[in-house]
Chain A
Amino acid sequence: MMTNTKRTTPASIAVFIVAIVWALMTLYPMLVTIMSSLKSNEEIFGRMFALPRDWHPEYYLESFLQARMGRYILNSLLLASMTTLLVSVMAAMASYVLARSTFPFVKPVFLLFLVGVMIPIHSTIIPIAKLVSGMKGMDNYAFLTLVYVTFQLPQAIFLITGYMKGIDKELDEAAKIDGCSMVGTLFRITLPISKPIISTAAILSFISVYSELIFSVILLSSSDLYPVSRGLMYFTGDHTQRMGPIFASLVMAAFPMVMIYIFAHEHIQRGMLAGAVKG
């Protein structure tokens, strides 16, 4: 809401305080994670919330060299970008039809997509694994990406359709009267206005694919293809877990995500302001 201008009112001070408190609550665990990434097990269990006594910066080197986190981060970024790209394009196209058309098949199709939001992932593991291995798609990024895409599609479609339904229909009609085709209206009118929600859906897909675990475990086996979540397991042994290096790997994995989010959000903001002026 753009109403809260830079005037200092009691309300804005209260909001500011609440915002600070919540920011501390969200940042503190991050801070503890960073501190813990420099500690041995001995210090983590018992003195987790204090500053390290013995510093272990070498854990970062270990997770980079031994657990190959650098490689796995690149792999995850690749998987997440391919998925996000496909999801955004497919979901935006489908949502437009689902939000605007009145053909009799639209409602059932939307309902079917809604089912996807509710599917518990563990019911689908065996059928999907069977399907993918039947198509000779094991250990193959293309198939893993397609599986990820279908897991992200329902939520993205749900979000984008809901948003597009909220957009004033008169804009569409006006465009049509001006001679715009359906596809033309989508690209010239609806998509620019829907940028905020499409980027939101894209960010959410990107994040969940980036650290996805179960399907990467089941569908991939070459260690060169492992994503971040497999790298995080490196320091988990049969009866021991070296928490310090695990936390170091986590920090390394989170870093590019934070950067991408900051960049993406700025981008969205600009897009939205542009949209608002046009609207």
Chain B
Amino acid sequence: MKRTRTRILMAAVAICFALTGIGFAQSKGDVKIKVYTRWSGDEPLSAFFRQKVKDFNAQKKGIYVESEAIGSEDSYLDKLRTGFATGTPPNVFVEYGGSRIVDYVSSGSLVDLKPYLDKDPKWRDAFLPLFDSWQYKEYPGTYGIPVVFYAVELYYNKEIFAKVGVQPPKTLDDFRAVSEKILKAGYIPCQIGEKDSWRGGHLLNNLVIKSFGAEGVAKLADRSLAYDSPEMVKLYAIIKEFNDKGYFGKNAVGVDNNAENTSFETGKSAMIYNGSWYLGNLTQSKILDKVGVVPFPSINPKFSDSVQGGAADGFSVAKVKDQAQIDASVEFIKYVSNAEYFKGLEQVNKGGIYPVKFDSDPSVANALTIQFKDNLKNVKEFRSDIQNYDSASHMLETVRLAIQGLFIGKTPAQCGKEIVDKIKANE
């Protein structure tokens, strides 16, 4: 009895080892590079990227790409940061640029890609002017290339708007008036999932960009516009006012982004401000035909063509001793950022916006995607997360958490003070 059990156990262990021992299709002498991305799931982008890595390896250019994808942002960052901390970073990784990677840039851990871009003008010139997230005043050079282009706009439910008898808001005052009417009709005007603090962060981004434009963003970053200045406190007050009036739904701080999306997709919430990535969700949802999209309401008419958007993810290359690995890394990122790559991506994504110029195929896109793209025609300037331009890497988290305070009863003044205190404590 006992012996049989031991045997079964040993057999099981042996099978497990056999299963795990399946080797890699990699020939000797290849330059091996490690690539980290967030694209792990079954959505079109992830599947497309996986296929492209396979294609690249199949070309047998003497390079073998070992791609690791971690969907959860926390785990992804844990792995990336540990890699840099222990001196074993990936050769290529995906990040948002700006203050998120400034510490890697300042420590000389990343490769300046400018010489490589200049050597291949065809590759370089295809990009839209989105490099600001990977260029720094203090550190000359280009430390990444954009691979995801995004913008934030206001999606609305046409059916609810028709029922209530309102037009999509053009200005923030319109937004207020529309929200009041929608609220009276028994819908949530614009549910926010503030349990995920980036939602409030994006709201503030839009308020800042629409009020002060790109120059305001720059002033916040160099502290000539203080986070506790009256101008900023006024914006915090708007967030608080709207939340207190119920425009963002009841208990917004207890709702997560997933539930927020669902609230819009099930016709409970009439509006949602969200990025271009959300087009993908809507395309798969049942309410695609009922959804319209307009630019985020303007505040200062002077900046109504300033928009939250720009490069989201980009590829950076880590500096390693072996120049062959660096060259291989550049070769790989070229392969997954050229016009042909994005043309293929447009097909699987059924439309969308991309950081590279290529002859787009309009037939694949649906009406909503076309409208979304159309809204961006007159945009003068894109700015991403306003803390991206900050020199302190903690600011993104700091500001988002302080904004969360507005949803649990803290005053606008307290919100400003919390941010300024944190800046001081981290100096």
Decide whether A and B are members of one complex: yes
Q: Is residue A175 contacting chain B, with contact meaning CB distance below 8 A?
A: no
Q: Which of B56-64, B68-76, B406-414 contacts A (4 or more CB under 8 A)?
A: B68-76
Whether B34 contacts A221 by the Cβ 8 Å rule is: yes
With a CB–CB cut-off of 8 A, which chain B residues contact A119?
Answer: none
Q: How far is the CA of A45 from the CA of B267 in the complex (A)?
A: 13
Whether B266 contacts A46 by the Cβ 8 Å rule is: yes
Whether B257 contacts A235 by the Cβ 8 Å rule is: no
Whether B257 contacts A239 by the Cβ 8 Å rule is: yes
Nearest Cβ distance between residue B159 and chain A, in whole angstroms?
Answer: 16
Q: Is residue A180 contacting chain B, with contact meaning CB distance below 8 A?
A: no
Q: Is residue A266 contacting chain B, with contact meaning CB distance below 8 A?
A: no
Whether A233 contacts B82 by the Cβ 8 Å rule is: no
Question: In this complex, what residue of A is CB-closest to B24?
Answer: A222
Scan B25-60; emit 1 where CB is below 8 A from any A CB, else 0.
000000000100011111101100000000000000
Given contacts A74-B19, A75-B20, A214-B78, contact A234 B262 (CB under 8 A): no
With a CB–CB cut-off of 8 A, which chain B residues contact A225?
Answer: 20
With a CB–CB cut-off of 8 A, which chain A residues contact B42?
Answer: 62, 66, 234-235
With a CB–CB cut-off of 8 A, which chain B residues contact A230?
Answer: 70
Whether A141 contacts B46 by the Cβ 8 Å rule is: no
Scan A22-55; emit 1 where CB is below 8 A from any B CB, else 0.
0000000000000000000110111000000000
With a CB–CB cut-off of 8 A, which chain A residues contact B68?
Answer: 221, 223
Given contacts A45-B262, A234-B42, contact A218 B275 (CB under 8 A): no
Nearest Cβ distance between residue B255 and chain A, in whole angstroms?
Answer: 9
Which residues in chain A, 42-84, are within 8 Å of chain B measured between CB atoms? Answer: 42, 44-46, 62, 66, 71, 74-75, 77-78, 81
Whether A234 contacts B82 by the Cβ 8 Å rule is: no
Whether B19 contacts A236 by the Cβ 8 Å rule is: no
Given contacts A42-B266, A46-B266, A234-B42, contact A75 B16 (CB under 8 A): yes
Q: How far is the CA of A141 from the CA of B17 in the complex (A)?
A: 10
Whether B72 contacts A126 by the Cβ 8 Å rule is: no
Q: Is residue A150 contacting chain B, with contact meaning CB distance below 8 A?
A: no
Q: How far is the CA of A129 from the CA of B20 in the complex (A)?
A: 22
Q: Is residue B360 contacting chain A, with contact meaning CB distance below 8 A?
A: no
Q: How far is the CA of A233 from the CA of B78 in the complex (A)?
A: 14
Scan B251-264; emit 1 where CB is below 8 A from any A CB, else 0.
00000011101110
Q: How large is the interface on A (under 10, 10 to 19, 20 to 34, 35 or more residues)?
A: 35 or more
Whether A217 contacts B70 by the Cβ 8 Å rule is: yes
Given contacts A78-B13, A218-B78, A221-B68, contact A237 B46 (CB under 8 A): yes
Whether B82 contacts A129 by the Cβ 8 Å rule is: yes
Whether A71 contacts B258 by the Cβ 8 Å rule is: no
Question: In this complex, what residue of A is CB-closest to B13?
Answer: A78
Question: In this complex, what residue of A is CB-closest to B37?
Answer: A238
Q: Is residue B277 contacting chain A, with contact meaning CB distance below 8 A?
A: yes
Q: Is the interface of A mostly helix, strand, loop or mixed?
A: helix
Q: Is residue B66 contacting chain A, with contact meaning CB distance below 8 A?
A: yes
Q: Is residue B334 contacting chain A, with contact meaning CB distance below 8 A?
A: no
Picked from A45, A66, A223, A239, the residue with its CB within 8 Å of the CB of B275 is: A239
Q: Is residue B8 contacting chain A, with contact meaning CB distance below 8 A?
A: no
Whether A129 contacts B258 by the Cβ 8 Å rule is: no
Nearest Cβ distance between residue B312 and chain A, in whole angstroms?
Answer: 8
Q: How far is the CA of A240 from the CA of B44 in the complex (A)?
A: 13
Nearest Cβ distance between residue B318 and chain A, in whole angstroms?
Answer: 15
Q: How far is the CA of A44 from the CA of B268 in the complex (A)?
A: 14
Whether B263 contacts A45 by the Cβ 8 Å rule is: yes
Scan A236-254; emit 1 where CB is below 8 A from any B CB, else 0.
1111111100000000000
Whether B40 contacts A221 by the Cβ 8 Å rule is: no
Q: How far is the CA of A138 from the CA of B39 in the complex (A)?
A: 22
Q: Is residue B79 contacting chain A, with contact meaning CB distance below 8 A?
A: yes
Which residues in chain A, 86-141, are within 8 Å of chain B measured between CB atoms? Answer: 125-126, 129-130, 133, 138, 141
Question: In this complex, what residue of A is CB-closest to B66?
Answer: A221
Whether B22 contacts A74 by the Cβ 8 Å rule is: no
Between-chain CB contacts (< 8 Å), 23 pairs: A41-B261, A42-B266, A46-B263, A46-B266, A75-B20, A81-B13, A125-B82, A129-B82, A129-B85, A129-B86, A129-B88, A133-B86, A141-B20, A213-B75, A217-B78, A221-B66, A233-B70, A233-B75, A234-B41, A234-B42, A237-B40, A239-B257, A239-B281
| Residues of chain A having any CB pair with chain B under 8 Å | 41-42, 44-46, 62, 66, 71, 74-75, 77-78, 81, 125-126, 129-130, 133, 138, 141, 213-214, 217-218, 221-225, 230, 233-243
Q: A138-B88, A240-B43 are in contact. List 17 more A-B contacts (CB 8 A).
A: A46-B266, A66-B42, A71-B19, A129-B86, A217-B75, A217-B78, A218-B78, A218-B79, A218-B82, A224-B19, A233-B71, A235-B71, A236-B72, A237-B40, A237-B46, A238-B45, A240-B261
> What are the 4 closest A-B residue pairs judged by CB atoms, nearest first?
A45-B262, A236-B71, A78-B16, A45-B259
